[in-house]
Structure 1
Amino acid sequence: MFKKWMMLCIAMVCSMAIAQGAAATPVDEQQAVADVVETLRAAMNHPGDGATLKSLVMDELSYGHSNGKVQDKTEFVDALVSGKSDFSSIALSDQSIRIVQDTAVVRHTFVAVTNDSGKPGNVSLKILMVWKKLDGHWRLLARQAVRFSA
């Protein structure tokens, strides 16, 4: 009886150790969010057919621009794929990431060279993003931009 009880205890301890080791640490999650933000930046810079963009954002996306315009998922992707929103370069800096359960709040400075509908320009923005973890993947739920003087 003692031997069975001892084996059960050892099995439980091993199971808990394995489960804890498999769980992502806060640093791992922050890196995962940083990686998906970088993937989104690259996809905005080179949208292709929009497949990557679509995979990174939720269907319920609320994408707010500094001029007050708000786009849903379809409008956001279509604007980039069509060239209506066109980025020659995008640089992110001063990024902070805060994770609360399955939600990540990302803030950064966004500086870009644009060519929207063939019109060259520059933009400097402060960005707030809200990411949600669904089925093990981080997806953009909301984004809001405000202008600032660089």
Structure 2
Amino acid sequence: MIKKIILALSFIMTVSISAQKTNDKDAVAAAAEKLRLAMISGEKSSLESLILPELTYGHSGGHIDDSKEFVEKLASKKSDFLTIDITNQTVQIVGNTAIIRHHFYATTADAGKAPGDVTLDILLVWAKVKNDWKLLARQAVKAEKKK
């Protein structure tokens, strides 16, 4: 009888943990979508609501922004995304941390320059703070050319 109870409790815990990971995957994917939209709009309050003060934001060219520089560049349109399209996104939950990888295709008009195109592979690291997902780290690399 005790074995059956332990087995039933183990099953319930497994199902519960699996459901929580699914909910977390959906929630962090939704946060990533909010970030995509905020990067296009450049809306300062939206950007600030999605990131941690400790943010480290790595560009494909090697420059690293902190949270203030990241927000300032987008809000001032020094970095101006006209479009951002995300494909091949994967989300992995590890405790209170989420890892997102995706392909990033964007059209830019940085500081009023003529539009340009950007194709990158992105790694995002999100931390769960209370019930919200906040961006802690981002690293971009130039997308590998297909052979």
Q: Deviations over 1:110-135 (max 9, x none)?
A: 00000001112100000000000011
In structure 2, the gaps of 5 or more residues are: 1-11
Q: 1:64 aligns with which of 58, 69, 84?
A: 58
Q: 1:40 aligns with which of 10, 35, 57?
A: 35
Q: 1:81 aligns with which of 70, 75, 80?
A: 75
RMSD of aligned Cα (Å): 1.7
C-alpha distance in structure 2 between counterparts of 1:110 and 1:116, whole Å = 17
What secondary structure does 1:108 align onto? strand
Cα offset, 1:65, TM superposition: 0.2
Residue of structure 1 in register with 2:130 after alignment: 135
**TM-score normalised over the length of structure 2:** 0.84
Residue of structure 1 in register with 2:104 after alignment: 110
1:126 aligned partner, one-letter code:
D
- Which is greater in Rg? 1
Percent identity between the aligned chains?
46
C-alpha distance in structure 1 between counterparts of 2:85 and 2:28, whole Å = 17
Cα offset, 1:81, TM superposition: 0.5
C-alpha distance in structure 1 between counterparts of 2:94 and 2:20, whole Å = 13
C-alpha distance in structure 1 between counterparts of 2:82 and 2:62, whole Å = 23
C-alpha distance in structure 2 between counterparts of 1:141 and 1:109, whole Å = 19
C-alpha distance in structure 2 between counterparts of 1:113 and 1:59, whole Å = 27
Greater than 2 Å deviation, 4+ residue runs = none
Q: Deviations over 1:71-102 (max 9, x none)?
A: 00000000000010001100000000000000
1:66 aligned partner, one-letter code:
S
Cα offset, 1:59, TM superposition: 0.3
The count of corresponding residues between Structure 1 and Structure 2 is 130
> Is residue 42–residue 76 contact of structure 2 (8 Å, CA) maintained in 1?
no
1:146 aligned partner, one-letter code:
V
